[in-house]
């Protein structure tokens, strides 16, 4: 069989273990100490270059994270594991976070103490910690720490009630009972302002020493005990004209447009409708605005997350990279939603996420 002469322009297609008859002429069977690039072809692999010694730690399970912010700013983040007691040797230490630039210059990291240090402490930081960087924000998750709730409950207001005059009537008197005792007789009148003023004046006269009483326009009177204790409230009147509101009402339309700021009431709904119960709160600044009703949560719920069990967010600051990263600019993530301040940060984040999605698809 005659020899075949063929010119090979380059060897840029790398290594192939296929039989010689199947692989391309630009592929080789082995490549040792070689580096292939399209621009320069096959060349000698460059040597390892020592830049700087970052740490004296001997932790083999440290988590290393690279932050490639831009062409001029690249950082190395190291979180050491909690493998050995500090009493064993000065070369071994508990969990801690350190940051350097690519020249080996150490960057200051503030606030990695207390709950933050507890959260990042793990015996295998390399496998148990996950870091993700978007622009100047880096998020740190400890896979071994489950998010937990606080046992503390939410704020609760003292018991309160409203006498709501929905419509004036000159057909009958309205009777207001507080703690089972008749405290006000709203005389029949076609003028709502007159009726609600009569109710307010009589309530102040009879129970004003033990109750805080506030009148709102010509529609309602708000009551709460000065000592914060509970009480009962009842109005004897045709339902369409005057009602007592305390703790709950059936329909949202049973509420006045304006009343005490912060007043919270439960909307039970018609039992036959199958709708869920919900809570609403009245916002009325300094009891002076028109006010609005907004949906809220039930009082005294234990619905707060324990910040010591939540992922960590640390931020590159503009003054000095990583300075105060865990102090005034560091906060726990209480929800899965990222709140970035400023249009630039938002655009950078969207661009990063879109790039990640394209890379995942390809």
| pLDDT digits 0-9 by tens, 198-238 | 999 999 999 999 999 999 988 999 999 999 999 999 999 98
Q: Report the mean per-residue pLDDT for the chain.
A: 81
Q: How confident is the model at residue 5 (pLDDT cuts 50, 70, 90)?
A: confident
Question: Where along the chain do its domains lie?
Answer: 1-49, 63-148+313-361, 160-296
- Provide φ and ψ at 282, rounded to 5°: -95, 125
Q: What is the pLDDT of residue 307?
A: 85
Rg for the chain, CA atoms, rounded: 36
What is the per-residue pLDDT across 269-324, written as a single tens digit (0 to 9) for each? 877 766 788 999 999 887 887 889 999 988 888 888 888 888 888 888 765 544 44
The answer to whether the beta carbons of residues 148 and 292 sit under 8 Å apart is no
Residue 307 and residue 305: Cα distance in Å, rounded? 6
Is the pLDDT at 93 greater than 60? The verdict is: no
According to DSSP H, which parts of the chain are helical?
A: 114-120, 125-128, 192-207, 343-361
Beta bridge partners of 222: 162, 214
One-character DSSP codes across 304-320 = -B-GGGSPEEEE--SSS
Is the pLDDT at 335 greater than 60? The verdict is: no
């Amino acid at each position: 069989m005659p020899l075949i002469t063929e010119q090979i322009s380059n060897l840029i297609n790398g290594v192939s273990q296929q039989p010689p008859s199947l692989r391309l002429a630009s592929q080789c069977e082995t490549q040792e100490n070689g580096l292939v690039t399209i621009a320069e072809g096959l060349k000698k692999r460059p040597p390892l270059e020592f830049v700087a010694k970052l740490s004296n730690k001997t932790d083999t399970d440290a988590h290393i994270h690279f932050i490639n912010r831009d062409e001029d700013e690249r950082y190395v983040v190291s979180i050491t594991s909690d493998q050995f007691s500090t009493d064993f040797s000065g070369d071994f230490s508990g969990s801690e976070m350190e940051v350097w630039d690519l020249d080996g210059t150490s960057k200051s990291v503030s606030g990695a103490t207390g709950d933050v240090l507890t959260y990042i402490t793990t015996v295998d930081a390399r496998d148990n910690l996950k870091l993700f960087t978007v622009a100047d924000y880096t998020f740190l998750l400890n896979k071994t720490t489950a998010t937990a709730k606080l046992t503390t409950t939410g704020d609760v207001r003292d018991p309160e009630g409203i006498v709501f005059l929905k419509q004036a009537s000159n057909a009958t008197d309205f009777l207001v009972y507080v703690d089972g005792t008749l405290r006000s007789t709203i005389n029949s009148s076609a003028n709502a302002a007159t009726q609600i003023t009569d109710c307010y004046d009589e309530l102040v006269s009879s129970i004003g020493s033990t109750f805080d009483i506030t009148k709102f326009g010509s529609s309602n009177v708000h009551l709460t005990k000065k000592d914060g204790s509970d009480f009962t409230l009842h109005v004897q009147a045709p339902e369409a004209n005057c009602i007592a509101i305390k703790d709950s009402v059936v329909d949202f339309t049973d509420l006045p447009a304006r009343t005490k700021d912060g007043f919270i009431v439960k909307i039970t709904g018609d039992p036959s409708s199958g709708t869920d119960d919900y809570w609403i709160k009245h916002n009325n600044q300094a009891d002076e605005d028109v006010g609005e009703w907004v949906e809220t949560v039930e009082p005294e719920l234990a619905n707060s997350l324990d910040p010591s069990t939540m992922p960590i967010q640390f931020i590159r600051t503009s003054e000095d990279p990583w300075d105060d990263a865990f102090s005034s600019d560091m906060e726990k993530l209480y929800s899965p939603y990222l709140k970035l301040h400023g249009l630039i940060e938002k655009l950078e984040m969207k661009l990063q996420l879109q790039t990640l999605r394209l890379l995942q698809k390809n």
